[in-house]
Amino acid sequence: MVIQTEKLTKYYGNSRGIEEINLSVKEGEVFGFLGPNGSGKTTTIRILLDFIRPSSGRARLFGLDAHTDSVRIKSRIGYLPGEYGMYEKMKAVDYLQFLGSLRSDEKPPMKDKLIELFDVDISKRIKSFSHGNKQKLALVQAFMHDPGLLVLDEPTNGLDPLIQQRFYELILELKESGKTIFFSSHILSEVERICDRVAILREGKLVALHKISDLKKFRLKSIEVTFKHELDESIFRLDGVRKVEKNANAVHLLINANINGILRKISEYPIDNISCRDASLEDIFLEYYTQ
pLDDT tens by residue, 142-173: 999 999 999 999 899 889 999 999 999 999 99
pTM: 0.79
Domains and CATH numbers, the chain: 3-214 (3.40.50.300), 221-287 (3.30.70)
pLDDT tens by residue, 16-34: 999 999 999 999 999 999 8
Whole-number Cα distances in Å, 125 to 88, 94, 95, 121, 204? 7, 9, 9, 9, 40
In percent, the amount of the chain with pLDDT more than 70 equals 92
Dist. CA 177–CA 132, nearest whole Å: 27
Whole-number Cα distances in Å, 139 to 182, 199, 222, 282? 14, 23, 36, 26
pLDDT tens by residue, 214-225: 766 655 778 889
